[in-house]
Structure formats: structure tokens, C-alpha cells
Amino acid sequence: MVGAYTYLERQFNNDAVEATVYNIKRTCNYETFYENDEGKRTNFGYKTNPCTSTTEFQKIASDYKHREKNIKGMAVVTVRYATPANNGYYLADLNFQGSDDEFYSLHEKDKIRILVNKNDPTKIRKY
């Protein structure tokens, strides 16, 4: 029954529209290590950087469908879209984690499908 409700809620309360990726801000958390006096490698903590500042992200993103690990991080994707209800143009954000394919695959100017709330066109979610 939950599946039926979700389907109906999507159909009646949202419009599916095509959006254009306007901007992406990705931050990645990388483990940092150091070697102690005995040469033993020890976890020092996490460092947060823009993902594009490292070659590790580029390597994983280039073949994200076959990745062996997820990067811990967050991508805030700003999209531009028009709503069928009032033909107005809006900008809004979608958030993706390192476990989502979109975290790796989306680029500026890509087209994606989103769901726009019919009552509040500033509320969107992934299709």
C-alpha cells in the first residue's frame, strides 16, 4: 500500500519537468594519515576539500558505474527549471551524497528530470 501512495502522491502533487544543471558544489571528505616514529600509519582524521582539487575524485568519477568505493561527501546541485503551473522560471537545490550516482555523473548544463510541487514551485526533488 505504501508504494501505491507514493505513486499517487508523485502523480497528483508534483509535475515532472526537465531542468538544467546551473551549478554544482561538491565537497569531499578525505581521510588523512600520518606515520608515527615507528613508521606505523595512523588515521589522523578527515579533511574536507572541494572534490575537484584531487585526482582521486576525477579517477572515480570517470568510471562511476564501476566504482569500488564511495567518496564521503555532498554535492549541492542548483538547477534551473520552468513550472507548467505558471510558466515561471526558478532556481532550486538538490542534494546528493557520495553513494548517489548523480554525485559523480552530473555536470553543469546537463538536463535532468525533477519533480516540482504543484502548490509550491520552489519545492523540488529527484525524479
Write out the chain's pLDDT in tens, 127 residues: 555 555 556 668 899 999 999 999 999 887 666 666 777 766 666 677 788 777 878 888 888 887 776 788 899 999 999 998 888 999 999 999 988 999 999 999 999 999 999 999 999 999 9
Q: How many CA atoms lie within 13 A of 98 on its CB side?
A: 14
Q: How many helices (H) and strands (E) does the chain have?
A: 3, 6
> Contact 93/78 with Cβ under 8 angstroms?
yes
Rounded to whole angstroms, how far apart are CA atoms 98 and 87?
33
Rounded to whole angstroms, how far apart are CA atoms 127 and 115?
5
Which pLDDT does position 111 carry in this prediction? 98
Q: What residue ranges do the domains of the chain occupy?
A: 2-126
Rounded to whole angstroms, how far apart are CA atoms 94 and 20?
12
| Helix (H) / strand (E) containing 98 | none
What is the reported pTM?
0.79
